[in-house]
Amino acid sequence: MIKVTKLTRIFKTNSETVKALENISFTIKDGTFASIVGRSGSGKTTLLGLMGGLDKPTSGSISVGNKEITSMNDSKLIKYRSSKIGFVFQSYNLIPNLSALENVMLPLEFNKVESSQRQNLAKEALISVGLDENQIKRKPARLSGGQQQRVAIARAIVTKPKLVLADEPTGNLDSHTAKVIFKLLKDLAKSENTTIIVVTHDLEIAKNSDLTFKIEDGKFIKGGSNAKRS
């Protein structure tokens, strides 16, 4: 379970103070496919970054499982990110000079998985997202956008994290491929009991999510079907 309580994030510059998030609270059950929708600059990515342990809130708390992540120091956050979190980015962000297989092996290395097991686990993850033996040996430049995003999803799930955070995962894909990737993520949430939170502009994704949050000016304005809002 993911529990966010009274989360506020304020950015201060020399000339101004921006409230990116203000007093956000929600709870998401394990295995939920949730989406966060909102306009650019509404605070979606800030929320994603805070849940992923990439940033620290000005106030409030976030618990993932039983772990309170907002009080963790940097080294604990690194461990948290490598073992409990998977990230999927809009531009895939694969390392260009590494093969698909090597890209997926990276989180296993950072998570200190035995080197002898890394290749098999990475291969399993890649095959589970629909890539074949031939494709997993290719470098990203030799894969289509949809295939690259599959590799990115495989990289996000290879350590079997509790939470996958996806920032516009279908933003660079055509509508057909976007639907395939969406289905893939949704199936993963069910089969692995992994919580998946997707930041998106795609209303189709939002409509088909278990839970949808709309965010505007750093505040939730409308809850989804199974949200427990406080």
Partner 1 sequence: MNVISRGIKNAFRNFTRLVAIVIIVGIVIGLSLAMVVARQAVDSKINQVKSNVGTTITIQPAGIRGFSGSGNPLTQSQINEIKNFQHITSLSESLNARLNSSQTNLVADVNLNNFGRRFLQNQFSGNSSFNFTPPVTIEGTNDPTNLSNSIGGGTFKLQSGSSFNGNPNQDVALVGTNLATKNNLTTGSTFKAYGSTFKVIGIYSSGNNFSNDQIIIPLLALQNLSSQPNTVTKVIVGVDSLSNIDALTSKISSTLGSSADVTNSIQQTQNALTPLKNIQTISLYSFIGSIIAAAVIIFLLMIMIVRERRKEIGVLKAIGASNSKIILQFVIEAITLTLLGSIVGIVFGFLASAPITKVLVSSSSSSGTSQSSGFGSSGSNINNLRNHFNHQFLGGLRSNLINVHAIVGWSIVIEGVAIAIGIGILGSLAASSIIAKIRPLEVIRTE
- Give whichever of 86 and 210 is closer to partner 1, judged by the CB atom: 86
Asked if residues 210 and 33 have their Cβ atoms less than 8 Å apart, the reply is: yes
- Give whichever of 91 and 230 is closer to partner 1, judged by the CB atom: 91
d(CA 194, CA 192) in angstroms, rounded, equals: 5
C-beta pairs of 111-118 under 8 Å, 24+ apart in sequence: 111/82, 111/83, 111/159, 113/159
Shortest reach from residue 75's CB to partner 1, in Å: 8
List interacting residues with partner 1 (CB under 8 A): 45-46, 48-49, 52, 54-55, 75, 78-79, 81-83, 85-87, 89-91, 93, 95-98, 102, 105-107, 109-111, 115, 155-156, 159, 167-168, 171
Shortest reach from residue 115's CB to partner 1, in Å: 7
For 54, counting Cβ atoms within 10 Å of its Cβ (0-12 exposed, 13-18 middle, 19+ buried), the class is: middle
d(CA 198, CA 152) in angstroms, rounded, equals: 14
Shortest reach from residue 171's CB to partner 1, in Å: 8
Shortest reach from residue 87's CB to partner 1, in Å: 5
Q: Which residues pair with 211 in a beta bridge?
A: 34
- Give whichever of 29 and 56 is closer to partner 1, judged by the CB atom: 56
Asked if residues 192 and 157 have their Cβ atoms less than 8 Å apart, the reply is: yes
Shortest reach from residue 93's CB to partner 1, in Å: 4
- Give whichever of 95 and 221 is closer to partner 1, judged by the CB atom: 95
Nearest to 154 by CA among 209, 111, 92, 215: 92
- Give whichever of 47 and 184 is closer to partner 1, judged by the CB atom: 47
